[in-house]
Amino acid sequence: MLENVSRIAPMLAVALCVAACGGSGSSSQTSTGSSSTPTTTTTTQVIGFEGMPIEQGADLASPGTTGTGTVDGITCGSSEQLAYHVHAHLTVYVNGAPRALPGGIGIPGSTVVNSTAGPVASGGQCIYWLHTHAPDGVIHIESPTVRVYTLGEFFDEWRQPLSSGGVAGATGPVTAIVDGKPWTASPRAIPLLPHTVIQLDVGSPTAPFQQVSWAGTQL
């Protein structure tokens, strides 16, 4: 098991406290009257081990397409590289419906398991400098040197396509929003800067920008 995975247990203990302190929101209303009584759909927000909400919808693509070779100068090593350690967040909608960024991207051979603190990638052959631990949209940038990486490099490492005409297996015009502002260049060029919040809408309709709070996440 990789060094990063061996450290997951203590991380989970911390995450339990973070999740408990942050809480999760849910609302429900049960119809007990006639058939004409309005029914409210139950919405539940699940907080993952990193203190970030687990993304809704089917996986955008399988994390298993990640290989082990060097990609764009990024290698897959035996442990995390923490000389430069920042995080970005990615949300994707396809024709208005949410799709989840799966855990285990950049950790080939890993499997997402359900822990007491939420789903988390476990095991794996190696770990890339750009990776995801959980299906919460958080992209970890953990590099041996200070360098600005791009969303395109993350998708290259994942072996999934990204362009103005599609995201992973979803095709259609791509609308990109970065930190609440329209991004008009190629989505591949979006920089993965500290706490960057990225939203990609494939097709239509486009969803309102979903802001992400990093407060209390320890990321």
Q: Mean pLDDT of all residues in the chain? A: 84
Is the pTM higher than 0.75? The answer reads yes
DSSP code of residue 11: H
Has residue 21 got a pLDDT over 90? no
Using CA atoms, how far residue 155 sits from 90, 160, 187, in Å, is 12, 5, 11
> Which residue did the predictor score with more confidence, 164 or 23?
164
Residue 36 has pLDDT above 90, yes or no: no
- How many whole angstroms separate alpha carbon 25 and alpha carbon 44? 6
Contacts of 89 (CB under 8 A, 6+ apart): 52, 137, 138, 139, 195, 196, 197, 198, 212
Inform me whether the pLDDT recorded for 213 exceeds 70: yes
Query: Position 52: which residue type?
Result: M
- Residue whose structure tokens are 């802001």: 211
pLDDT at 159: 98
Residue pLDDT, tens place only, 87-134: 999 999 999 999 999 999 999 999 999 998 899 999 999 999 999 999
pLDDT at 43: 54
Please report where in the chains the tokens 């809408």 appear, as a residue. Answer: 201
SS3 state at 84? strand
So what's the pLDDT on residue 16? 29
For the stretch 122-175, pLDDT in tens is 999 999 999 999 999 999 999 999 999 999 999 999 999 999 999 999 999 999
* Percent of the chain whose pLDDT exceeds 90: 75
